[in-house]
Structures are given as structure tokens and as C-alpha cells.
Structure 1
């Protein structure tokens, strides 16, 4: 399964190539409770067909109705929902929440090409649009950057999808692969055993041929990657872990009891791994919810991944904001210094 954002943008590109009129909506900010995070996107076709989401559903219905009646703006604009309590209740926004949404009319598929390319190549892209005339600027984005309005400009961010590499095509691996896709993980599976490959039937997961250590090396996991070894065979799981613990993956875990994890750590110490690298290993995998069956264990693992993914996203966002404030302060200081020099001339 591709990233939900990628699916949305590719479908919009297809509509535009067919001569359809399309509007792209991006969630900028929320106040109070809101079901989607800033950066969520939605595309609506002129006949009301839509893909994506910026709310729980009622706002999407309203935007689709506006599209069918030609009531959407013809130039980039900002729209808000839930300004009043009555409107919040009418559109099903919980706890009197408020949504601020950027709307952009699209004319040609080429407008979406840079965002689609960024998602496919796992690069961070900052796309800036000027509200007054629709000018577009493209540049690199900082990790953790969020959509923001800055004067007459709206800056949006597109980047790598979260992905999950599963070592082991057993029942747990299959259940985990199916569930993870619903959570917008790009799922990759590795198992060198031919009999496991022959019985694999989970759609949407990408099969990576080869031995686990070679697969991890070739994948070059980044900070948007999680790796979970579930074969319960030390010969396979340990091979993957030897390389996974040295990479940038935000999560590296292996199935097994606490006693098995202690034995695994002792085996890993026989190789060229530092104590810091070994300490990154999570196990037993998943949050402690009393799971026993493959489905319950998969839920526990994904719950832990969601928790860590949110923590990493929040930390990256805070870091990006600090960097932006520092750069802004440096810019102001430079401007002040230049003005002072001009006065002394």
C-alpha cells in the first residue's frame, strides 16, 4: 500500500489529466479537538468525487456539495469551519473545535508532480504558495516542519512515508503486515525461507528477497523506518538485528520473552556492536497489554509504534520550530546590523 497522501495526489493527477477541475485542501491549524493533524490533505473533483480527509467526514461532504454547485474559490484561499458553536455542532467538530484549511484550485497534473516525486523518493519538500497571485516556490523542508501561514504565503510540507520492515513471514508477520497498512505504514517483508514465501498471501506488502542482514543494508533504514523481527529463529532474527541496531530506524524490536531477550543481547555482544547499539533493541516487542494471540501481539506492537512515532514527530516538530525561530532571529539581527552600518556611513 502506498502512502495515503501519495494515493490522494496521484488520483488528483489522473483527474486533471482527464480534463477535470480539482481543488486541493490542506489542513493548516486546528483549535480544540480535531480528528486530523495539520498537513492532512483532501482533493475534491468538480462533480463531488473526493479522496483524502481533513476532518471526520461532515466537512468533506460540505466541500463536495460546494464543488458540485461551483461554490469553491477560483484562487488560493483560506477557509474556516467551526467558528461558532452552532457551526461546530453542525459539522460534527467535537468540543467546539475549529479548523483552518487552505484551498488551492488545480489546473494541470504538473502542479502535483513535485509532491508526488518527494513521496516516492522519500525526500522532504517545502511547497510555498502565494495567496495573492498563486505563485509557487519549492525548497527543502526541515524534519518536523508543519504547514504554516506566513504573511501572504502558505507553506506545506511533503516527505517520507513511515515504513515497517518485518523479518518473518509467519502468521504473526502476516497479521502485522495487514494491520500496519491500515495505519499508513509502507510494509516490507523479508524471509529467506522458500516455504514461507510460497504461502505468503498478504496483499500490499512488498516482498524483499535475500538474507535479512543484506536486506537491511540495502534498505538503508532512515528515521521513518521501524524494523521488527518475528521469526523466533535466532539465526534469522539476529542477522537482521546486527545491521538494524546500527542504522537510523526509530524502532528495532524482536519477538521473545525477557529471558530470550537477555540471551539475544549476550549473543549480540559477541559481534562488533556497542552497548549503546544493543540497548536500542526493544523486547519483548509491543506494549504490555497481556497479548497472547498473533492478532493481539500485532496490536501491541503497532500500539508501541504509534506511540513512538508520535513522540518522534512531536520532537522533530519542536526542533524545527526552534530552528526556524533561531534563523528568524539571526535574520533580524543581520538586518539591524546592516541598518546600523548604513547610519554610520
Structure 2
């Protein structure tokens, strides 16, 4: 990522590297995790671009599989014309060699690409740069590639006997209420985690000072902005203006929606008062209880970037089905002071 460029998700970094190598006349291999059994360091859909001289971008394991792929590429033992499949960790000793825990196994699709054969990556790159979602299908037998827009509700990865379809682009969305310093850190980190990010702030002085790259800015009142944004189960809303008049408007809309995460900045006492206000405004008690406030995991956050880490860690835990994060540890005094509205 160069100076002035917005943060990129992992897939975008891989695709941009691959396109740059192809433009320079290099041959490369696009490697995709298409199946895992048992424990695996990287999930299906993980991506690696491996240049024929051994340079790489992305990852498909904890490192040992990448080194083996590099050796195969340098020895000329990876597929030369059409896609091929590789499996790692079939035997226990092989799993141990490649750092796959608990006898895990992974299957890789390896696609050879080169000048005049970009495998549809140019179309994928354009979609990622525009923040759009797209699906790329590879036919295992022929290497033929099809690219089309991604539709809501489609599976994250479909790996069949004849073809593999992988989606690209943000499948998760984040709206941050308030264009302050915390919003900047939240936005940058969320972009790297493949969120599409919107920041909402109707306050003129904050909106005019906002310089977030790769982020949509909405200057409507928060309730109107959240309603128009239409939160779904892949959406999160974070209220961080320090102004109850603005935060509460957003929370009334967000808590009544299917958003998987709705959080608010502030101490426990301030969030207890916030819950009471939301109830007085007629929000259903079950919806009020969905509020995560103080938001974020209790890691003793002392600075805006640390608070951003704690919030995104909590969102990640919920995204990954880890249930209710442990909130037993109280926030530090510094954390309480920083989060006072």
C-alpha cells in the first residue's frame, strides 16, 4: 500500500499484486484453498499469488505450505497449462511437516496464469477497486473463467467436482456514527478486514474535516442514514459521537434491525443511562438488550487505536460464531475516562 492509498483487504492485495506481475510479463500461479478437513490455519477461499520465480502475496497456511509451493514452482512442478489440485496433510506425518494442527487437511486449486491469460483478474480488480462484489468461477478441467456480479445470500465459496466459484468484495458492512479520531482508526482497520465502511456525521465541522480514504461519508441525520443504509445480518453499526442526541437516533434504528452488531462508546454508567433513554423512547426491551455498551472487548484500551482494536475484535468474535465474548474483566480507569460521552 503506497502513501495516500486506502487500506486493502487481503484478497485485493493478492489480486493487485497478480495483476502487476502479469502486466510486467511474468507467469504466476493463483492458489485458492477450496477445501479443509479437521483444523486448518486458513479458511476456504484464502488466496495466494505465487510468481514463477518464487515471489508471493497472500497465504494459504501458516507458512510451511507456502514454502513447499515455492519449491514446486522453482522446480517447474506446478501445473503448466490447466488448473490442478494439491492436497496437504493427508497423512499425520505430512500434517506435522506442514504445520497443520490436529491432522488437518487442505485442498488447493492451482491455476497457471500468464501474459494474455489473466483468468478474469482484471475484472475482479476493477470490482474490488470500486467496492463492488463479484463472483469468479473456474472450470477445473479447462481453466475457463466466468465472472459475474455477486448476489445477496450466495455461499461464500462453492467447490464442486467440475468448477470452483469464489466471491470477491466486501461481504460485511460497517457504519460508524461520528467522524472523529476513533472513526478514522475503525475505518482503516475495518477496510483491511474486508468491510465496506460508511461514516455518518451531520455536523458540518466534522464532515468537512473527514479525510477517510475508501470510505463513504453520509451527512444526513443518523436515524435517516441508518434507515437508508438498511442494516442486514452482515452489517454492524457503531455509535461514537459522544453526543447522545446523535448516537441515540442511530441506535433506535440499528437495534430494531437485523444488524449482527450494534455498539456504543461510553462507560457502563453512561450506557445504562442510554438503555433507559432508549426504553423510554419506546424501543422494545429485547432490542435494548442487544446494545453492546461499553462496546469492545475489555483489553484495557487507552488510546483510540486500541479502542478500535477492541471493537473490531468483538465484532470478529461474533462474526465467527464465538458466542458472547467474556466481559468479566472490568475496563481500566483510563478506558472509562476515554469513553465518557
TM-score normalised per structure 1: 0.74
Counterpart of 1:305 (choices 315, 320, 325) is 315
- The answer to whether residue 105 in structure 2 is matched with residue 95 in structure 1 is no
Q: Which moved more, 1:241-250 or 1:24-33?
A: 241-250
1:260 CA displacement:
2.9
* Superposed counterparts of 1:68-217, under 5 Å: 68-73=74-79, 74-107=81-114, 108-109=117-118, 111-116=120-125, 119=128, 120=130, 122-123=132-133, 125=135, 127-137=136-146, 143=153, 145-193=155-203, 206=215, 208=217, 210-213=219-222, 215-217=225-227
Q: What is the rounded CA distance, in whole Å, between the counterparts of 2:120 and 2:132 in structure 1?
A: 19
1:276 CA displacement:
5.8
Paired positions, count: 311
- The answer to whether residue 253 in structure 2 is matched with residue 253 in structure 1 is no
Bigger-Rg structure (1/2): 1
The 1:28–1:112 alpha-carbon spacing in structure 2 relative to 1, beyond 3 Å, is same
List alignment gaps of at least 5 residues for structure 1.
Answer: 313-345
1:38 CA displacement:
0.7
The 1:68–1:250 alpha-carbon spacing in structure 2 relative to 1, beyond 3 Å, is same
Secondary structure, in 3 states, of the residue corresponding to 1:134? Answer: coil
Instruction: Please tell me whether the aligned partners of residues 170 and 196 of structure 2 are also in contact (alpha carbons under 8 angstroms).
Output: no
Q: Deviations over 1:191-245 (max 9, x none)?
A: 45566568767x7563625245254455444443322112221122123334434
- The answer to whether residue 24 in structure 2 is matched with residue 15 in structure 1 is no
Counterpart of 1:30 (choices 36, 55, 58) is 36
Q: What is the rounded CA distance, in whole Å, between the counterparts of 1:176 and 1:142 in structure 2?
A: 25
Q: What is the rounded CA distance, in whole Å, between the counterparts of 1:293 and 1:100 in structure 2?
A: 42
Q: Deviations over 1:117-167 (max 9, x none)?
A: 554454363x43332222334565673624344233333333534343322
Residue in structure 1 matched with residue 337 of structure 2 by the alignment: none
Secondary structure, in 3 states, of the residue corresponding to 1:37? Answer: coil
1:103 CA displacement:
0.9
Q: What is the rounded CA distance, in whole Å, between the counterparts of 1:52 and 1:193 in structure 2?
A: 40
1:48 CA displacement:
2.0
Instruction: Please tell me whether the aligned partners of residues 9 and 191 of structure 2 are also in contact (alpha carbons under 8 angstroms).
Output: no
Residue in structure 1 matched with residue 325 of structure 2 by the alignment: none
Q: What is the rounded CA distance, in whole Å, between the counterparts of 2:43 and 2:186 in structure 1?
A: 24
Instruction: Please tell me whether the aligned partners of residues 226 and 251 of structure 1 are also in contact (alpha carbons under 8 angstroms).
Output: yes
- The answer to whether residue 68 in structure 2 is matched with residue 62 in structure 1 is yes
List alignment gaps of at least 5 residues for structure 2.
Answer: 1-6, 323-341
Residue in structure 2 matched with residue 51 of structure 1 by the alignment: 57
Q: Which moved more, 1:283-292 or 1:296-305?
A: 283-292
Instruction: Please tell me whether the aligned partners of residues 158 and 166 of structure 2 are also in contact (alpha carbons under 8 angstroms).
Output: yes
1:46 CA displacement:
2.1
Q: What is the rounded CA distance, in whole Å, between the counterparts of 1:87 and 1:141 in structure 2?
A: 39
Q: What is the rounded CA distance, in whole Å, between the counterparts of 2:282 and 2:218 in structure 1?
A: 25
Q: What is the rounded CA distance, in whole Å, between the counterparts of 1:205 and 1:134 in structure 2?
A: 33
Residue in structure 1 matched with residue 338 of structure 2 by the alignment: none
Instruction: Please tell me whether the aligned partners of residues 41 and 62 of structure 2 are also in contact (alpha carbons under 8 angstroms).
Output: yes
Two-structure CA RMSD over aligned residues (Å) = 3.5
Residue in structure 1 matched with residue 246 of structure 2 by the alignment: 236
Counterpart of 1:282 (choices 287, 292, 297) is 292
1:36 CA displacement:
0.6
Residue in structure 2 matched with residue 335 of structure 1 by the alignment: none
Q: What is the rounded CA distance, in whole Å, between the counterparts of 1:262 and 1:287 in structure 2?
A: 17
TM-score normalised per structure 2: 0.74
Instruction: Please tell me whether the aligned partners of residues 3 and 161 of structure 1 are also in contact (alpha carbons under 8 angstroms).
Output: no
Instruction: Please tell me whether the aligned partners of residues 189 and 205 of structure 1 are also in contact (alpha carbons under 8 angstroms).
Output: no
